[in-house]
Amino acid sequence: MGMSNQREITGNATNEPISAHWKKQIFEGYFGLALGRNAVAVVGQHQGVIEYKKNKDSQPTFGIAILSLNDGTILWQEELPASPVWWGVALDREGSLIIAMKDGSILCYGRK
């Protein structure tokens, strides 16, 4: 008998399966995410993932979006000036979001 690669997530005393609360597709490709107390920040590539794979001269665009954990509502969204690095996203305890970019720069979003 082969073993299944599928794993069921359970999170309550009765071990009942957990189902998705919401589903949202903001980007065509994702570079990383950071989970906060009430929201998740996702960094990704807007359009052109397929075109970029076919033609390296095309210019993909990148962005960041903050989504509510309750219902997936977009709370805030902004374009990024360049490509982020893979999983180069961090969130501090005050809610500032730091993104490492492929050009060597670091972006910090949050309250002043």
36 falls within a domain? yes
* Number of other CB atoms surrounding residue 75 within 10 Å: 13
Asked if residue 10 belongs to a domain, the reply is no
In which domain, by residue range, is 69 found? 29-109
Q: Please give the pLDDT value at position 1.
A: 41
Q: 15-50: per-residue pLDDT in tens?
A: 777 777 888 888 888 999 999 999 999 999 986 555
Query: pTM of this prediction?
Result: 0.73
Domain-embedded: residue 18: no
Quick one: which H or E segment has residue 82? Answer: none
Share of the chain above pLDDT 70, in %: 76
Whether 13 is in a domain gets the answer no
Tally of domains in the chain = 1
At residue 52, φ and ψ (nearest 5 deg) are -65, -40
pLDDT at 94 over 70: yes
Nearest CA to 69 among 35, 92, 29, 93? 35
Answer whether residue 8 is part of any domain.
Answer: no
Residue 24: predicted pLDDT:
87
Mean pLDDT in the chain?
A: 82
For 17-54, the DSSP string reads: BP--S------SEEEEEEE-SSEEEEEEE-S-HHHHHH
55 in any annotated domain: yes
